[in-house]
Chains A and B, each alone.
Chain A
């Protein structure tokens, strides 16, 4: 049971990673990052069955952090949208080598 949960979590994490790599929309990229965090949350919950209740507690911490990140992240995305009228990260290449 634990193995399955961990594998599922890993798959979710990889999907999140690939999403960040291939998507161009800043908001979707951010959602993929959220997917990664939630994949980890799944691991925590699954492991909590064997290692103790604190695993479930950690999930709340992670969710809090994710919420804070979402607030800041969306604010930044709005701010950049005002400049570029776009959330496509391909357009944001003022800063480069």
Chain B
């Protein structure tokens, strides 16, 4: 069906093309990953059944047997990254095309009427505008790099084609999520990425714990989905449409500022966003999601899918601007999450867990940004975070890959992800070491790395909201505290992993090696982006100071202006209602002073932190004592998982069991028995002492019948 719709793509240009921007085959951007999924999926099925046949015949699994890699494993190497590269280039063409024109209205391409009922008509339509293109660039660009990295990382996995099939499918759904022109389309992508995430977290399903992590992610996300669906319901009831265009254009006139409707909608949207983006209280699934292969963590659980919540809020900026309570809730959830996750990250020893909590924390920053109305800043941080966090995860992947090989070579039964078992790796993997330091400096917010511009812009905006209420002052304090903690725990991770003496063991150290080029090259590219990616959104006052190189460095406030068509309405509402932002910074000075303070503090934390961690003696995990005191509380993640288990999981299990055991067997049987006793008391039915199942059914049936008769006749 996809082939037949393609010709109509060009024919059925719907509306909004007055500005002169003519997108180049936008549908193909979507179809390419889908094609990759189809091809890789077919190969995966072939390979899967082959290994099943091999199993049946008592041989080892296919893929290992004959030395040479079978075709089912060599083809995905080209198909997987290939379709991503093509999609990226196509996105780039469109991006460049849009750069050249002042696009005011989004370009909507409508393919067919997806669901049409009396009042509701939803098109299968995609929307190209500034926001979706930024997201598409990140998804296809970073996605392509991660696909390339995966070729090296997953090389020896028997599920190689299946892995690329899932990954391509994920990209397809992620693109639907950001390109959809209405809420239902976004929901398709939303559910789809959830499914792929679930499949990829449980990719190594032979490990029971890892499969459980996939299930956990799935269930927690359902809570979020419910919020999103209810929000869509209310929106449809109010606006009679679910198209972005229709809703956001009508919203300022239809909805009452701060009214109950818009507040409810935004709170339900927040529930959905919090589920997907792992915010308090629904963040618990993300750290467990690290059970999946590391490139998956980089792509799905750092760079793209988890930012869908931020995208959702930014996309619905008009609604959030009209609901001060909803917006404040977003900012508060973000701040709490940011600080909370950062404290947990302080005490983790698993390198991926540190990065996972760091991701949760950074997502909190993005929520803070979009919560205080700094939509462009939120998206900006989303983008820079995609660069440096993908880099950190891939770097960690390279480290784990190397550690795994080393431990495997000598059959040492140690955890390849525990930082206490690492140390001094910089000698063995210099490229990984350097690129990861770049990312660390970026996330710590040190000039001129990308994170400095994006994170400090958010903190700035939170601070300028402070005069509005005490709440924002508190949030601002939390944001600053989180930023400092971030600098510390990232430094700790780097020092424990790459510096000091090597703790892997002498024999094992011989097997430590740098990753192959197809893994280090993506690291290098991402490192470059982590340095310069922040330069695209620098406020004018900063540009003319030291931090902007006095105008000599190629910096601009391009992103703010680029996103203006989308944020203007929301911004205008905030200006009208709140007087918007003060022009001075919260500490009295201007941007420049603020920048100096921020980068100075961060740098100080990095240096002091590095010394503090390096001066302590670290022993391999097996020899280390259990953490005690408050450190134990942090190490055990504030016991949130245990709490959820007690107050939610077990009661629900109990309820379900109660429904069939207790209600059925006690209440119903009991009632029947009681009625039986009464009847016996009357001496009518001498035989009605015991009940058999079938009579119970007939009894309930009759009881129901009596109720219905009673209701209707009386």
Contacts and interface: CB of A to CB of B under 8 A. Distances in A.
A/B touching: CB–CB < 8 A: yes
Contacts of B688: 22
Contact of B692 (A18, A24, A97): A24
Nearest to B690: A90
Contact of B695 (A89, A91, A96, A97): A89
A90 B688 CA distance: 12
A17 interface: yes
Which of A22, A91, A97 has the most chain B CB atoms inside 10 A of its CB?
Answer: A22
A29 B694 CA distance: 11
B71 to A, nearest CB: 50
Interface in B647-672: 660-661, 664-665
B694 A22 contact: no
Given A97-B660, A97-B661, A97-B664, A24 B695 contact: yes
A92 B661 CA distance: 19
A93 B692 CA distance: 8
A20 interface: yes
Contacts of A20: 695, 698
B692 A21 contact: no
Given A17-B702, A22-B687, A24-B687, A89 B694 contact: yes
12 contacts: A17-B702, A20-B698, A22-B679, A23-B687, A24-B695, A89-B692, A89-B694, A90-B690, A90-B692, A91-B692, A97-B660, A97-B661
Q: Tell me the dominant secondary structure on chain B's binding face.
A: helix
A21 B698 contact: yes
Contacts of A23: 687
Contacts, number: 39
Nearest to B703: A21
Interface string A60-78: 0000000000000000000
B695 A22 contact: yes
Contacts of A89: 692-695
Contacts of B698: 20-21
B644 interface: no
A22 B694 CA distance: 10
Nearest to A24: B692
Contacts of B226: none
A89 B665 CA distance: 18
Interface in B666-714: 679, 685, 687-688, 690-695, 698-699, 702
Q: What 10 A-B pairs have minimum CB-CB distances, sorted nearest first?
A: A90-B692, A89-B694, A93-B693, A22-B685, A89-B692, A97-B660, A22-B688, A20-B698, A21-B698, A21-B699
Given A21-B699, A90-B693, A97-B665, 13 more contacts: A17-B702, A22-B685, A22-B695, A23-B687, A24-B687, A24-B695, A89-B694, A90-B690, A91-B692, A93-B693, A96-B693, A97-B660, A97-B664
Interface string A1-41: 00000000000000001101111100001000000000000
Interface residues of B, number: 17
A87 B333 CA distance: 64
B178 to A, nearest CB: 46
Interface in B471-508: none
Nearest to B672: A21
A21 B688 CA distance: 9
A23 B691 CA distance: 10
A24 B688 CA distance: 9
Contacts of A24: 687, 692, 695
Contacts of B702: 17, 21
A44 to B, nearest CB: 20
Interface string B33-76: 00000000000000000000000000000000000000000000
Nearest to A91: B692
Contacts of A97: 660-661, 664-665
Contacts of B699: 21
Nearest to B692: A90
Contacts of A29: 694
Contacts of A96: 693
Contacts of A17: 702
B699 to A, nearest CB: 6
Which of B661, B685, B694 has the most chain A CB atoms inside 10 A of its CB?
Answer: B694
B685 A92 contact: no
A76 to B, nearest CB: 13
A1 to B, nearest CB: 23
A20 B700 CA distance: 12
Nearest to B688: A22
Nearest to A23: B687
A29 B692 CA distance: 13
Nearest to B659: A97
Nearest to A97: B660
B693 A21 contact: no
Contacts of B665: 97
A92 B687 contact: no
Contacts of B694: 29, 89, 92
